[in-house]
Amino acid sequence: MNRWLSVLIDKAGLYFLHRNRSIYTQFQNDNDLHSILHNQNRDAFYQLNEVPHLLFEQKDSKQLSPYSYQYDSPIQTGDKTNDIAQGICYLNENHDQSVHVIIVHGWRSDSLNKFKSIFLKQMQKKGYNVYFPTLPYHFERASGSQYSGEYMISANVERTITAIRQAVLEIRGLIQWIKQTKRGKVVLIGVSLGGYISNLVSVYEKEIDSLISVMYANNLSYEIWNTPIGKYIKQDLQKHNITYEQLQQYWSILQADETQSLISTEKILLISGKYDQYVMDQDTKNLWLAWGKPKRLLYNCGHAGIVFSQKQIARDTINFIENLTTNGSE
């Protein structure tokens, strides 16, 4: 796909995305926020105190139907609907000894259809177990919001921090539960916001056998301030006299390239679109450089390449997983 067409498709996508936006300001002032954030220790902030107990239920009686699962979120926000971590999974017959793939969806996703169409069928053919966790304030966890994900990333600076921390710890809990109760390797795949979250998870969770991050961001404050995706959040912040420099300080604890991933470089695959209008190339490049230049694929597409490059994404991710498995990487 050429540059002109890629940019045009992304801009069209952004236009339709922004037709549904917050009606009211999401900003909330907390006079103690600055001191609270600067007294936080990163390892303590993302520490998982115990492995959760997952409850599973098969969605219907069909043999290949997915299971739903849920558990208490390690971070309780006071929102009862949001404080139950949940997701669905597709398990193969020999699910205790397989590759376990966790796929983290993007911001404002209102269904898993796009992510299933990219990965699920091909991964089931390989015999993988596939898990789709629901991010905070998305899908059924988004009660009372204007759209799925509205309360996860917004001008409410502190709630955004809490939601991202909640996502990181919930995925860490799922990974550790798999490692304790199953056998096999755990592969973490994140797409768009899911890639950003997965990158953060890999900085604090050592029980990941491979990380694949697709169309990911790195520095949330940079993306909100410098890309069209965050323009209304930026406007909300500016109306309340929050500067870019302040936001960078507040959200620095949410930045993956501030710390090295615990995953060895040869087990990381980063995928970006050259003409992405949602996520800036400089931001994705910064992470790649900070992490010692793991394998990086640059597609000739924009952020919409998530949809238009489905076969290529599936092929590249599965090849990467299979190569690691064949080579017996530990």
* CATH code of the domain in which 74 resides: 3.40.50.1820
Res 143: pLDDT? 86
Q: Among positive and negative, which fits the CA dihedral 93, 94, 96, 97?
A: negative
What's the pTM value of the predicted model, to 2 decimals?
Answer: 0.94
Q: What is the mean pLDDT of the chain?
A: 92
Q: Which domain holds residue 113?
A: 3-326
Tell me the C-alpha to C-alpha distance, in Å, between residue 330 and each of 30, 169, 200, 271, 293. Answer: 45, 24, 21, 23, 20
Res 329: pLDDT? 46
Res 97: pLDDT? 67
Res 61: pLDDT? 60
Distance (Å, rounded) from C-alpha 73 to C-alpha 133?
A: 12
Residue segments in the chain with a per-residue pLDDT below the cut of 70? 29-40, 60-64, 94-97, 328-330
Check if the beta carbon of residue 136 is closer than 8 Å to that of residue 166.
Answer: yes
Output the six-digit token pair for 16. 């339709």
Pairing of strands 210-214, 268-273: parallel
Res 330: pLDDT? 43
Written in H, E and C, the secondary structure of the chain is CCHHHHHHHHHHHHHHHHCCCCCCCCCCCCCCHHHHHHCCCHHHHCCCCCCCCCEEEECCCCCCCCEEEEEECCCCCCCCCCCEEEEEEECCCCCCCCCEEEEECCCCCCCCHHHHHHHHHHHHHCCCEEEEECCCCCHHHCCCCCCCCCCCCCCCHHHHHHHHHHHHHHHHHHHHHHHHHCCCCEEEEEECHHHHHHHHHHHHCCCCCEEEEECCCCCHHHHHHHCHHHHHHHHHHHHCCCCHHHHHHHCHHHCHHHCCCCCCHHHEEEEEECCCCCCCHHHHHHHHHHCCCCEEEEECCCCCHHHHCHHHHHHHHHHHHHHHHHCCCC
Among candidate residues 280, 281, 287, the one with its CA nearest the CA of residue 258: 287
Total tally of structural domains belonging to the chain: 1
